[in-house]
Chains A and B, each alone.
Chain A
Amino acid sequence: MRNLINFLIQYSVLILFLILEVVSIGLIVNNQEYQKSVFLSSSNSAVASMYEVSNSVVEFFKLKAANETLSEENTRLKNEVMRLRNQASAFKPEKKDSIRFHIPPEMEYNFISAKVINSSTNKLQNYITLNKGLRDGIKVDMGVISDLGVVGIVKTVSDKFAVVIPILNDKIKVNCKFTKSNYSGPLQWTGVDYRYASLNDIARHVTFSVGDSLVTSGFTNTFPEGIPVGRIENFKINEGDAYYNIKVKLAVDFRTLSHVKVINYKNYREQRYLEQVATEK
């Protein structure tokens, strides 16, 4: 017994060291289940409100670029409205529809705009914090886009804030397709450069060329079809490979990202439920 106590006293520092290391490794591993750690992350409201203050200073310098993209989008949307209005007047129905109890397909999606208050581009697993949360209608698994293209997927939500996993995180893959051929494959970040990602599983027989644009495939219920993801920068294929090695230039510049839109897909739960039932049986 005395030996044991002596041993413990002699190695107390080493034991403390090992305990602390085990705790921190445990934290890293448990962090996979991200929901558990909302408290110790930047969606914790104390930390997030500090970032909000610091961001209000930094945001000032991004105003010009943000203004430009906004006005560009504005004109584009106005044109679109005009075009649709013309179209709609051509197709005016003669009498009113009977009762509509479903959400019409053209209103399945609406957007919640949010501001980026913290983000990184230099790690293997990057995250983005937004200044909107549950009370603004954001839920886990919603897609996030900017005016330029796909940003990522909402991972955790607290009352006022949300954390997004962007494409710049090797934990997620976004399914996208060629606008020309409709052939689809998963897009994943390589962890090196924030401007580029790689597109996998494109088989040898598919034809495409440098500069072709990629959009979301719409096979998942997070993103609707046709949101820009990026363009083919270059590609190569070795003699024995079945799949291409494709480098994609991302549409979104994650360094200057400041305003984003969260996609609210109104039939999400119904579709999810139906798919779950189908796979269970």
Chain B
Amino acid sequence: MLRVIQNILLFFVLVLIQVLVLNNIQFLGFVNPYIYILFILSLPARTPRWFVLVLGFVLGLSIDTFSNTLGMHTAATVLIAYARSFIIKLFTSIDEGNNPIPSFHSFGVGAYVKYALVMVILHHSALFFLESFSFSNFWLVFFKIILSSAITMLIILGLKSFNRR
């Protein structure tokens, strides 16, 4: 029960931080970190997959509503919500009956960094390509993806190393 309340709080805090603070950060003119996906990253490893999808949809839609980009964040977030369980399986081996929250402690530092990196890059790629909706300025978009992913990763890893559990 405590976990549920914690997650609901995390949802609102992340959405507010994203739209009120981070959307105003424009490093180098166009680089923008998107840390709200930390919510999807931090759901317990064995959350039912359909439920993760629904949560991803709601999360993306709330961010879209605030940033006038209807559908873009939703599509990208649903994509990583779907890919999540595969990526967890790929990098970790969790015992039956265990349902840990992904963190440095439960996954191991290496596995968690890999898991977060793949999720972040997947999300940012989908998001930026949906935004430009073409491959015509591929290198600009590519550059954006790399820089934004790096900054998002830094923030996520920083936050995670604070509450090491």
Contacts and interface: CB of A to CB of B under 8 A. Distances in A.
A7 B56 CA distance: 24
A191 B140 contact: yes
Interface string B55-98: 01100110011111111101100110110000000000000000
Given A13-B49, A20-B57, A27 B68 contact: no
A127 B68 CA distance: 7
Interface residues of A, number: 38
Given A17-B78, A21-B78, A44 B65 contact: yes
A69 interface: no
Contacts, number: 96
Given A122-B29, A192-B140, A40 B75 contact: no
A28 B26 contact: no
B26 A122 contact: yes
Contact of B64 (A14, A30, A40, A192): A40
A191 B137 contact: yes
Of A23, A28, A30, A255, most buried by chain B (CB within 10 Å of CB) is: A28
B53 interface: yes
Interface string A13-49: 1101100110111111111000001001110100100
A104 B124 CA distance: 54
Contacts of B26: 121-122, 255
Nearest to A39: B65
B50 interface: yes
A120 to B, nearest CB: 7
A194 B132 contact: no
A227 B148 CA distance: 36
A42 B53 CA distance: 25
Nearest to A119: B24
Contact of A41 (B68, B78, B133): B68
16 contacts: A16-B54, A17-B78, A20-B57, A20-B78, A27-B70, A27-B71, A30-B71, A40-B65, A41-B68, A42-B65, A54-B20, A120-B67, A121-B26, A121-B29, A122-B26, A124-B131
Interface of B: 20, 23-24, 26, 29-32, 49-50, 53-54, 56-57, 60-61, 64-72, 74-75, 78-79, 81-82, 130-133, 137, 140
